[in-house]
Amino acid sequence: MDAQDQNWDDYRLFLAIAQTGTLSGAARLLGVTHSTVFRRLGSFEDRLGVRLFERLPSGYALTAAGEAMQQTATRIDDEIAAIRRQVTGQDQRLSGQVRITATDMLAIGLLPPHLAAFRAAWPGIDLELLVSDMRLDLTRREADVALRLGNPVQETLVGRRVGRLAFAIYASAARHRAGIAEDLAHNDWIGFGSGHAPLRQVLADWLPGLRPQFRTNSISAAVAAARAGIGLAPLPCAIADPDPNLLRVVPFPGDFRLDLWLLTHEDLRQTARIRAFVDFIAEALAAQAGLLEGRRPRNGKPAGA
């Protein structure tokens, strides 16, 4: 393979398949189609004259040649990402793009009015919102800013806690009028999968006999299901309290809260457009502390009273 045939996008595609173990996973990661990944991998292997992956029923596994390439390609990819961060970190223009990542709960239920207000204040800055329950890698510039639940775990990330999310049990107005069984576990329930372990653990400790009749991996889907009357649901107060079709049944026991963090990579914190976005959203969420913490008043009384 001569120099003109070399294309770093091929190595990025190779790394995506190695990371996910499937063509479909790599396609989602790269934002292309399954057929594109299949075609480009075949072409790449043909040019190299070597098989990089074993095609197994369970997915794609690296060959010995693939393992050797992964080590070098990963190191180069890390260095390229570092160069991009360092260059972007010197950008003092209040224009360009900011890529934000958040879970569906935050992206749909919390962020939209703040994003609209930011666009009105900074019309030269374009926003891209990446909705994913996967933690996109800020080190590799998969996103510039992350709004996440829970403390940051990467040393290279910097940020601030911008709120604490309180949770309570909610039901549709119609289900509430029909009556809620005094023994909460005897009601129909909406539950969550393993991706929402803290919520599941609290409910298991509080109501050990609870058996959800409907499950979802999405808080936004749970909001819609509760609104439709499928059952009771543990939901964030900041999203459920403003919904006129949902009524708070009972607050969570104790002082259960999930910390809300706004994060970026340390190399990007002085980038003007990213700093403007982080400061704006942090201030906007701080102004909503009462809503986030479940202290939004209703009819002159604390919600759920």
**Closest among 111, 114, 150, 113 to 263, alpha carbons compared:** 150
Residue 227: the pLDDT is 94
Rounded-to-integer distance, Cα 138 and Cα 20, Å? 18
Residue 87: the pLDDT is 62
What backbone torsions phi and psi does residue 235 show, to the nearest 5 degrees?
Answer: -135, 155
* Inter-CA distances, 63 with 13, 23, 72, Å: 16, 16, 15
Give every CB contact of residue 29 below 8 A, 6+ residues apart in sequence: 16, 19, 20
Rounded-to-integer distance, Cα 92 and Cα 272, Å? 5
Residue 229: the pLDDT is 94
Rounded-to-integer distance, Cα 95 and Cα 119, Å? 11
Parallel/antiparallel/unpaired status of strands 125-131 and 96-102:
parallel
Residue 151: the pLDDT is 67
* Rounded percentage of the chain residues whose pLDDT exceeds 90: 43
Helix (H) or strand (E) holding 205: helix 197-206
Whether the pLDDT of residue 84 is over 70: the answer is no
Residue 272: the pLDDT is 84
Tell me the two tokens of residue 152: 């940051």
Tell me the two tokens of residue 47: 């040019």
* pLDDT, tens only, 141-196: 788 999 988 766 666 678 889 999 999 999 998 888 888 888 898 899 999 987 78
Mean of all residue pLDDT scores within the chain: 85
Going by pLDDT thresholds of 50, 70 and 90, the confidence category of residue 198 is confident
